[in-house]
Amino acid sequence: MNSGDALAGRVALITGASRGIGLAVARRLGLMGARISICAKNPERLEESASRLGSAGIEVLATPADVTREDQVSDLVRKTRQKLGPVDILVNNAGIGLFGPFQDQIEADWDRVLNTNLKSVFLMSREVALEMILRKTGHIINISSLAGKNTFANGAVYCASKWGLMGLTGCMAEELRAHGIRVSAVCPGSVATEFSGQSAKDPAKALQPDDVAHAVAALVTQAPGSFISEVQIRPTRKP
């Protein structure tokens, strides 16, 4: 799985890839031979991350983009295609979390979380799907959460976004499988990252970004006759 040519010739686009899970996924797929396109909203942090990937011998394109905006999504995919080639692997990782009693959340909180965690996946996936259909191949991997399978106090807006993401992922998988395109959800528990809003109870017992990257690598190296629709990841020890 870690061989340098397992994904040779493939192009992987990862959203929210300037840090945390997205950066770990970009690094893992790049070390497996993929040409990497990364995006994030913060240009400075994105450029720093691209430099780190480049220093590891990874071919990388960095494009600042707000993936909740249709025009910027189209521009991102167009630049990726022009510089690297058509997208073979899309990892929808961009996400945020806002937590607290649902009655205290304002409409802007709802819009921000749902747009980032759900709308962006719709926009990004739609943008690459037509070309994947024409080529009869492709992987779309949505980074969800165990919060898309469970509920908890103070998580209403976040859980709503991730439950919605699970529904979207399942429908996409059913519609695209006939075209040779595999759509999967990765659902980690608490991960030790700078994720906004809520941190792991005990970072020493939390999942690491590389744990999620390992799952993504496994998904994109499956035999062609099957696909894993969902991966749930939990730490060995409860936080």
CA–CA gap between residue 40 and residue 34 (Å, rounded):
19
Q: Which residues contact 148 (CB under 8 A, 6 or more apart)?
A: 159, 162, 163, 165, 166, 185, 187
Closest to 145 measured CA to CA, from 99, 182, 96: 96
From the list 158, 161, 216, 217, the catalytic residue is: 158
Q: Is 158 a catalytic residue?
A: yes
Are 57 and 34 in contact, with CB atoms under 8 Å apart? no
Q: Which residues contact 87 (CB under 8 A, 6 or more apart)?
A: 11, 12, 13, 37, 77, 80, 81, 128, 131, 132, 138
> What positions carry a catalytic annotation?
158
